[in-house]
């Protein structure tokens, strides 16, 4: 979960789900106590009713035997016919046992029954007793009493599925899904401006200075809205500064052309009247003037590439021919420095774009590689097609570039080593022209250090 949207969605959803579960458990626990007490009361009443009915049936039979066959037969019946799990006795209405000696607590239960007239189960010092009035077949009243009343197992069907019944799980799933949808919409609404800001920042980073974020601020007065406004103001300010910078470079480059042309004319006139001793200084002036002319041309080219890309005509051309043409020129120049440029020709790779612009971009990189590769080594250039893209790699065997400045070498006027670049004639504009030309063809260029030394510059250009 790396995005803000997923984090907000997950935590909102989790919080809502856990809150629902906690609230349910609290409500359930508050309700289960009274429910359990009510169940116990109903169970006790039902238990007493069943025991009393069983004891009444037994007492009615015992009373009939007593009246018909006497006390001895009654004792024999009590010994063999009492209810399961109970020790039963038959009493007269004056509290006298008619079926043999009875425990004291049974006499107390009988006396309590005769006084209250209500049949019930009596608990006395952990001993459970029951007493009930019965009528004999002849209509005479007796008392049936018993000790050790057996417990009746509570019916399990009342609490089946506790604590979560089937209905609960259905309601939980519905709440879970609805909560997820609500949290999804809330997280999407909260992170929508952030996603737009991110996309706008990416477009601004690629050079689209007209990028602005447009969101509906009606009803929103939060910090995100303020951030959007600040971003738009920042983008507008950056656009003005960049346009002013480009205009300045363009104007300065154009203005320098006129005095440079006059300087060349004056240099030609000076050569006609100068003595032989002035030849060396004049040659130096001519060399520096030519270097200045090249720099002005590069500035104009860079300004043109950054200001108006639509003016370049596009055509279909063979990229391998362009690479081979650049390599031949570079190899010819490298031979005078005890260096070489190697390139293996491949099958034709057709692409649509500006042929001269691509040639210039590649030429800047290859010339840099020839300039910095070690003597006696060869600059290696490869061209291949990968996934409908042409990949060009230019590798030299020079000192390479420090890792911390690799991302800056395509910036205009950036120098890795000031003294070395000035001595070699570099102005720090060539690689900037290369990057801009490749970007205008929907490609990309990047530099990296080779593991065994040297710099590798890789182009990726779309094929037709």
End-to-end CA distance of the chain: 38
The answer on 99 and 9 residing in a single domain is yes
In a domain, residue 87? The reply is yes
pLDDT digits (tens, 9 = 90+) for 23-40: 776 666 666 667 667 777
Is the pLDDT score of 392 beyond 80?
yes
Query: How large is the average pLDDT for residues 54-65?
Result: 82
Percentage of residues of the chain with pLDDT beyond 70? 78
Encode pLDDT of 261-301 as tens digits: 788 888 788 888 878 888 888 888 888 887 777 777 777 77
Q: Do the beta carbons of residue 167 and residue 91 sit within 8 Å?
A: no
Predicted confidence (pLDDT) at residue 405 exceeds the cutoff of 90: no
> How far, in Å, CA of 291 to CA of 284, rounded?
11
Q: Are residues 259 and 330 in the same domain?
A: no
Q: Do 20 and 152 reside in the same domain of the chain?
A: yes
Q: Which of 36, 84, 189, 254 is catalytic?
A: 254
Q: Which residue has the tokens 């983008």?
A: 235
Last residue of a domain, which of 283, 308, 333? 308
Are the C-beta atoms of 383 and 346 separated by less than 8 Å?
yes
Question: Which domain, by its residues, includes 390?
Answer: 315-462
Q: Do both 248 and 350 map to the same domain? A: no
| Average pLDDT in the chain | 77
Total count of domains within the chain: 3
Same structural domain, 293 and 417: no
Burial 176-189 (b: 16+ CB within 10 A, else e): eeebeeebeeebee
pLDDT at res. 396: 92
325 and 277 in one domain? no
213 and 75 part of one domain = no
Residues 149 and 19 in one domain: yes
HEC string of 353-415?
A: ECHHHHHHHHHHHHHHHHHHCCCCCEEEEEEEEECCEEEEEEECCCCCCCHHHHHHCCCCCCC
Whether the per-residue pLDDT at 418 is higher than 50: the answer is no
Q: Are residues 137 and 25 in the same domain?
A: yes
- Supply the pTM of this predicted model: 0.48
Q: What is the distance of C-alpha 59 from the center of its chain?
A: 78
CATH number for the domain spanning 75: value is 3.30.450.20
Instruction: With respect to residue 165, please indicate whether it lies within any of the assigned structural domains.
Output: no
Residue 147, domain member (yes or no): yes
- Residues 259 and 323 occupy one common structural domain: no
pLDDT of residue 5: 63
Same domain, 216 and 122: no
395 pLDDT higher than 90: yes
Tell me whether residue 164 is in a domain.
no
Give the CATH number for residue 277.
1.10.287.130
Average pLDDT, stretch 437-459? 89
Q: What is the pLDDT of residues 128-170, one digit of tens each?
A: 777 888 888 888 888 888 876 555 555 544 444 455 555 666 6
Q: Which residues contact 30 (CB under 8 A, 6 or more apart)?
A: none
The pLDDT of residue 393 is above 80? yes
**Residues sharing a CB contact under 8 Å with residue 459, sequence separation 6 or more, in sequence order:** 361, 362, 365, 390, 391, 392, 393, 438, 443, 444, 445
User: Are 383 and 337 found together in one domain?
Assistant: yes
254 given a catalytic annotation: yes
Question: What is the CATH number for 411?
Answer: 3.30.565.10
């Amino acid at each position: 979960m790396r995005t803000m949207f997923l984090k907000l969605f997950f935590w909102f959803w989790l919080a809502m789900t856990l809150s629902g579960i906690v609230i349910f458990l609290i409500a359930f626990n508050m309700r289960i106590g009274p429910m359990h007490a009510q169940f116990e009361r109903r169970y006790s009443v039902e238990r007493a009713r069943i025991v009393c009915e069983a004891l009444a049936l037994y007492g009615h039979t015992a009373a009939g035997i007593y009246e018909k066959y006497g006390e001895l037969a009654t004792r024999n019946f009590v010994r063999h016919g009492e209810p399961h799990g109970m020790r039963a006795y038959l009493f007269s209405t004056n509290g006298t046992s008619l079926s043999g000696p009875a425990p004291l607590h049974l006499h107390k239960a009988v006396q309590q029954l005769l006084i209250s007239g209500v049949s019930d189960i009596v608990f006395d010092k952990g001993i459970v007793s029951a007493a009930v009035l019965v009528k004999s077949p002849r209509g005479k009243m007796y008392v049936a009493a018993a000790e050790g009343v057996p417990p009746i197992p509570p019916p399990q069907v009342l609490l089946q599925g506790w604590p979560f019944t089937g209905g609960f799980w259905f309601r939980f799933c519905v709440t879970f899904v609805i909560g997820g949808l609500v949290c999804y919409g809330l997280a999407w609404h909260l992170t929508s401006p952030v996603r737009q800001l991110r996309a706008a920042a990416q477009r601004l980073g690629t050079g689209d200075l007209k990028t602005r974020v447009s969101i509906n601020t009606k009803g929103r007065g939060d910090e995100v809205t303020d951030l959007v406004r600040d971003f738009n103001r920042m983008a507008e300010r950056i656009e003005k500064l960049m346009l002013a910078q480009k205009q300045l470079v363009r104007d300065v480059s154009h203005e320098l052309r006129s005095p440079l042309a006059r300087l060349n004319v004056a240099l030609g006139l000076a050569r006609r009247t100068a003595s032989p001793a002035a030849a060396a200084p004049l040659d130096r002036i001519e060399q520096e003037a030519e270097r200045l002319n090249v720099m002005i041309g590069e500035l104009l080219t860079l300004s043109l590439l950054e200001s108006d890309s639509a003016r370049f005509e596009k055509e279909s051309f063979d990229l391998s021919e362009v690479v081979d043409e650049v390599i031949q020129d570079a190899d010819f120049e490298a031979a005078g420095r005890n260096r070489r440029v190697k390139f293996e020709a491949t099958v034709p790779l057709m692409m649509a774009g500006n042929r001269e612009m691509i040639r210039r971009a590649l030429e800047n990189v290859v010339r840099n590689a020839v300039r910095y590769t070690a003597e006696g080594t060869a600059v290696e250039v490869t061209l291949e097609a990968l996934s409908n893209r042409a990949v060009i790699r230019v590798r030299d065997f020079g000192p390479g570039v420090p890792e911390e400045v690799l991302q800056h070498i395509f910036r205009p006027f950036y120098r890795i080593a000031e003294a070395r670049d000035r001595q070699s004639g570099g102005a720090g504009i060539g690689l900037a022209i290369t990057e801009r030309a490749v970007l205008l063809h929907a490609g990309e260029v990047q530099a990296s250090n080779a593991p065994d030394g040297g710099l590798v510059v890789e182009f990726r250009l779309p094929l037709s």
